[in-house]
Amino acid sequence: MSELFPDYKAPWEAEDHTLLRDQAAKFFAREVTPNQERWAEQHQVDRELWNKSGAAGLLCTGLPHEYGGGGGNFGHEAVVQEELALARDTAFGFSVHSTIVAHYIAAYATEAQKQRWIPAMANGEKVIGIAMTEPGTGSDLQAVRTTAIRDGDHYVINGSKTFISNATHADLMVVVAKTDTSEGARGISLFVVEVDKVEGYERGRVLQKVGQHGQDTRELTFIDMRVPAENLLGGKEGQGFFQLMEQLPRERLIIGIAGVAMAEAAVLEAIKYAKVRTAFGKPILDFQNTRFVLAECKTEVLAAKTFMDHCVQRYMDGDLDPATASMAKLLGTDKQVAIIDRCLQVFGGYGYLMEYPIAQMYAAARVQKIYGGTNEIMKELIGRSL
């Protein structure tokens, strides 16, 4: 149940979703919220957080029981993501692992690959990430320069990647590479690299970001990295671009959901602060301007939540189209940035101190409009559907 909207419940949220929400909220309050500053200082979460999350049943909730997943649907992943944001987390690469990349394995891997990788991903034994972006290639994936050349029963991969989430802890890394450099989209393939079993896989520097300081984001370099041919995702070359495109609605929707939930968390922080901070002899919530600002923010969060829930239902029904998923990402992240900015202003000078969660949320928010496809690209995709 939402603290800000106690009478609101998503139309798609069933009893098992609510039970999982409660479990996630308690887990994150205990294991995540108190550690934000420490994780920011060490530029990564504790490795055991993955194991604890798996043991609590919070990883891969939407993957089939037969492979060790939770056997749920997208709604189960959504409630966990919402509660993680409401816990004011800016460090845990949960969505990359559980909601996004795990589904590449579930959707496209061979049966043997699923049996090999999914159970360990679900229990937190193995962390997964995706190496997609390159120093000179962002959203234009057809222009990737990393190559994978077949050599007997292996592929030899060379190239470099940047902005890679979970890069420190990842045991499995999905690498986007060209298996045919003469082709564009049809020359792209995905490889699941078992990091501890290959040579030539090099982790570069930890990137110093504006926000999300506790998220282990790094550069990667592949130098004559020999990957077994059996690690080609799906077992067929040239399918990578289409695999990526098919999963984008899920990725963009979860980014939008996280954005709105983080905006909700910011409004809660601002309301609580405004009730105890005094100025001119009274709480600042008693000033009309403060009330008006927070009233607007609360209204916008609820409006955005209802749209996200509309999109979740459509995704669960199997008819969320790419344009509407782009709307979810665009709206959710735009509102996240704008609402957190207004809430930070309520804190005055204290809002500028990183020891306050509102400052951490403010610094972390801006990248949401960039990754998963920039919001400018979202507008282009929406525009093409007009």
Please give the positions annotated as active site.
Answer: 251
End-to-end CA distance of the chain: 36
**Cα separation, 90 vs 363, whole angstroms:** 9
Q: What type of residue is 297?
A: C
Percent helix, strand and coil across the chain, each to the nearest 5 = 55, 15, 30
Structure tokens at 336: 């996240």
Q: Work out whether the CA dihedral 17, 109, 216, 208 comes out positive or negative.
A: negative
| Residues whose CB is less than 8 angstroms from the CB of residue 367 and which lie 6 or more positions away in sequence, other chains included | 209, 210, 211, 212
Give bridge partners of residue 134 from the DSSP assignment: 137
| Residues β-bridged to residue 260 | none
Which residues have a Cβ under 8 Å from the Cβ of 66 and sit 6 or more positions away?
Answer: none
- Report the distance separating Cα 83 and Cα 98, nearest Å: 14
Residue 125 CB neighbour total at 10 angstroms:
13
H-assigned helices in 32-101: 36-42, 48-55, 74-86, 94
- Amino acid, res. 313: Q
CA distance 218 to 199: 18
What does each C-alpha distance from 58 to 11, 94, 191, 205, 254 come to in angstroms?
22, 9, 26, 30, 15
Distance, CA of 168 to CA of 291 (rounded, Å): 43
CA 143 to chain centre: 24
Q: Is the sign of the CA dihedral 241, 246, 247, 252 positive or negative?
A: positive
